[in-house]
A and B are shown apart, each in its own frame.
Chain A
Amino acid sequence: DIQMTQSPSSLSASVGDRVTITCRASQGISNNLAWFQQKPGKAPKSLIYGASSLQSGVPSKFSGSGSGTDFTLTISGLQPEDLATYYCQQYNSYPLTFGGGTKVEIK
C-alpha cells in the first residue's frame, strides 16, 4: 500500500497569511493526487485533482503542485472560512489512501 504523510499535522496562521501544506507519498504516484477540505461536522469537499487542477467552483486562492512523491497545497490569503482539516489522497493505485490530515486554525 502507498503511505501518504502530511505535514504539519496542525498549524495556526493569521488572516491574510499564505499557508503551505505538504504531502509525501511512500512511492511515486505521478500526478495522481487530490486535496480535500473538511470543515468541522461537514463532509469533505474536493479542492484539487491531478495534483494541480482546480475543481470547478473552488476559489483560485487554493493551488497545488508537485509530482512523483512530493506535493504541496497552498492557500493564498487565509480567511476565517478556511478553518478546516485538509487531506491529500493518492489515486495512483488501489487501495486508495489518504494522508493523516492537517488542521488549519486561525490565530
Chain B
Amino acid sequence: EVYLLESGGGLVQPGGSLRLSCVASGFTFSSHAMGWVRQSPGKGLEWVSGITVSGPTTYYADSVRGRFTISRDNSKSTLYLQLNSLRAEDTAVYFCAKDRYGNVFDYPDFWGQGTLVSVSS
C-alpha cells in the first residue's frame, strides 16, 4: 500500500524558514516524479513544486521560485521542501504527492495527508 507521511510543518514568523519532509513507502520511490501542492485555509489547491526522476530537474510556481527548494533522497525514499523567506500568504496545508508515471510531475495519483505551515508574528 502506498503511503506518504509529511512532517516539518509548524508556526513560523514572517521571514523565517522551515523544512518539510515526506517519507514514502509502498512503491519504488526512485522511479516516480514527486511534487508538492498546497491549500490555504478554506481555499483551493495550488501546485507549488515538482521534481523529476532523472537529473533531477526541479520546477516551481512563480509565487515560490527563489524562496522554496525541492529535493529528494532516493536512498531514504524521502522528498523535501525547504521554505525560506516565508510570508503570511504561504500559510497553508502542504501536501506531498506522487506522480502516476513518467519522468515529470504532472498527474499526482496519490497524496499524503498534509502538514500545516502557519506564518504569523
List residues of chain A with CB under 8 Å of any chain B CB: 32, 34, 36, 38, 42-46, 49, 55, 87, 89, 91, 94-101
Q: How far is the CA of A89 from the CA of B112 in the complex (A)?
A: 18
Contacts of B107 in A (CB 8 A): 34, 46, 49, 89, 91
Question: Interface size of B by Cβ–Cβ distance < 8 Å?
Answer: 21
Cβ–Cβ contact A44 & B111, under 8 A: yes
CB pair B44–A46 under 8 Å, yes or no, is: no
When chains A and B are docked, how far (Å) is the Cα of A93 from the Cα of B4? 25
In the complex, chain B residues whose CB is within 8 Å of the CB of A91: 106-107
> Known interface pairs A34-B107, A43-B95, A49-B109. Does A87 touch B45 (Cβ–Cβ under 8 Å)?
yes
In this assembly, does B108 line the interface, its C-beta being within 8 Å of a C-beta of chain A? yes
Name B residues whose Cβ lies closer than 8 Å to a Cβ of A: 37, 44-47, 50, 59, 61-62, 95, 100, 105-114
B20 → chain A closest CB, angstroms = 15
Is the Cβ of A43 less than 8 Å from the Cβ of B114? yes
Main secondary structure on A side of the interface with B: loop
Most A C-beta atoms less than 10 A away, residue of B62, B106, B114: B106
Q: Which of chain B's residues have a CB closer than 8 A to the CB of A55?
A: 109
Question: Are B47 and A96 neighbours in the complex by a CB distance under 8 Å?
Answer: yes
**Chain B residues near A87 (CB-CB < 8 A):** 44-45
Q: Are B113 and A32 in contact (CB under 8 A)?
A: no
